[in-house]
Homo-oligomer: A and B are copies of this chain.
């Protein structure tokens, strides 16, 4: 409900009439898009969660039981469980109980979306640079 919502298409112009900046070549991230994407990056902006993701992905079959994850850290099971919950609530992983053990696997779509956003072919971050 402020100037954030308005697309800024033309270059800024100073008092003397000289433009200080180039015009936009593409539509930048909107405020709402940014607000939606930031928590995804925040979820992986932690060394433990980054390694958890990596451990899950590196297991054959793409899934891992929690016992293997807790064994890889010097953290207590509740702490691991907490980090897994953060990743799951962000939509980055999913889980299922099979008998005694609980298995986690990665949701590739969400990670791919994040990767594409900051990748060289991104329409909003690569621009024409």
Contact = CB atoms under 8 A, between A and B. Distances in A.
Interface residues of A, number: 71
Given A50-B29, A59-B25, A108 B120 contact: yes
Given A38-B47, A46-B38, A68-B20, A115 B119 contact: yes
Contacts of A114: 118
Contacts of A119: 111-112, 115-116, 119
Interface of A: 2-4, 8, 11-12, 14, 20-29, 31, 34-35, 37-39, 41-42, 44-48, 50-51, 53-55, 57-65, 67-68, 71-74, 100-101, 105-106, 108, 111-112, 114-120, 122, 124-129
